């Protein structure tokens, strides 16, 4: 693909005309690779994976390794999800930024909330639209109490466990106050980690009090800038051209496409890679993986961002 292709003029010499046909990054023009991070964070379903470190690691590595790169731009559009995957993606971005000595510019589209905002904090600067939704620095969990419903329709709950708290907060059992207290303790621990990461990343840029910023509330772009959660209002093209010139190339680093790449961790690279992604090779194992994914979703419904 040719980036920012310039048509050679009739007066140009052979070398100039050949150079004009090269991609911008090979002509010495400034390059800012663009990585789009969109969707719910975590393994949503086996056939529709969300944002995970395994799914975005190769894109990030390609972006930070691109020739003539002056910075890396991240376009984020995520309502959040898994705290673990959010933090792992954040850490990987910061590791690559330090290793390659490249600044990271984050551009929020519709939303960077909760885990999406955690990833946004990996940027040296955060830009957003006036209508972007930013923040939601908190931890949420929810369930249903269905024990009376199943009695009404004549369903008998049969549950067998080994471990006193293995069925903690089961929606078909009456709520246990001790289990709720355990859940809220875990949520407070995760929330404290989130707050620490935001403070470490945004440092003196934060302008709001803790009891405002870290309640789980979210704001539109202008207010987010006022509170120091974002740096400025701005869009990708305008900001990069103003900073690096009109000739800046903005190649989008895309993930591998196709059903198998999503199902098998982006590349069908053999049993070793599939095992690392947590997938088996046989169709007979798919049912077990579906059950496992459902259990994971149920757990993170209690502890997710």
Residues marked active site are found at 114, 166
Q: Which residue has the tokens 């009456």?
A: 174
In the numeric block, which tokens belong to residue 248?
């800046």
> What Cα–Cα distance (Å) separates residue 91 from each residue in 118, 197, 234?
10, 10, 25
Q: At what angle do helices 83-100 and 177-202 cross, to 10 degrees?
A: 20
Q: Which residue has the tokens 């003029």?
A: 9
Output helix, strand, coil percentages for the chain, rounded to the nearest 5.
45, 15, 40
3 state SS of 279 = coil
Q: Which residue has the tokens 């993986």?
A: 289
> What Cα–Cα distance (Å) separates residue 122 from each residue in 41, 76, 210, 255, 262?
15, 11, 20, 20, 25
User: Alpha-carbon distance 266 to 255, whole Å?
Assistant: 7
Contact status, residue 167 vs residue 173, Cβ threshold 8 Å: yes
Contact status, residue 255 vs residue 61, Cβ threshold 8 Å: no
Instruction: Give the Cα-Cα-Cα angle 268, 75, 219 (nearest 5 degrees).
Output: 130
140's CB contacts (< 8 A; 6+ apart) are 114, 216, 304, 305
């Amino acid at each position: 693909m040719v980036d920012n292709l310039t048509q050679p003029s009739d007066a140009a010499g052979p070398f100039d005309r050949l150079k004009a046909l090269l991609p911008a990054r090979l002509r010495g023009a400034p390059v800012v690779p663009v990585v789009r991070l969109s969707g719910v964070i975590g393994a949503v379903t086996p056939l529709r994976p969300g944002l995970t470190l395994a799914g975005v690691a190769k894109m990030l590595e390609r972006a930070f390794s691109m020739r003539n790169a002056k910075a890396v731009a991240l376009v984020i559009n995520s309502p959040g999800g898994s705290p673990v995957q959010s933090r792992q993606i954040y850490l990987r971005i910061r590791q690559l930024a330090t290793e390659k000595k490249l600044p990271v510019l984050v551009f929020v589209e519709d939303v960077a909330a909760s885990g999406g905002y955690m990833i946004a904090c990996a940027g040296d600067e955060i830009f957003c639209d006036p209508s972007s939704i930013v923040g939601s620095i908190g931890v949420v969990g929810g369930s249903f109490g269905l024990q009376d419903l199943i009695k009404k329709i004549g369903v008998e709950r049969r549950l067998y466990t080994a471990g006193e708290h293995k069925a903690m907060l089961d929606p078909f059992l009456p709520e246990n106050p001790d289990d709720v207290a355990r859940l809220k303790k875990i949520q407070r621990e995760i929330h404290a980690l989130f707050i620490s990461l935001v403070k470490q990343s945004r440092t003196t840029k934060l302008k709001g009090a803790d009891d405002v910023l870290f309640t789980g509330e979210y704001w539109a772009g202008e207010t987010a800038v006022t509170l120091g959660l974002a740096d400025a209002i701005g869009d990708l093209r305008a900001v990069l051209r103003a900073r690096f010139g009109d000739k800046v190339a903005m190649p989008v680093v895309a993930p591998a496409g196709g059903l198998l790449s999503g199902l098998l961790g982006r590349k069908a690279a053999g049993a070793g890679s599939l095992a690392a992604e947590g997938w088996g090779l046989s169709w007979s194992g798919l049912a077990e993986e579906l059950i496992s994914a459902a259990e994971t979703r149920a757990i993170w419904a209690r502890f997710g961002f």
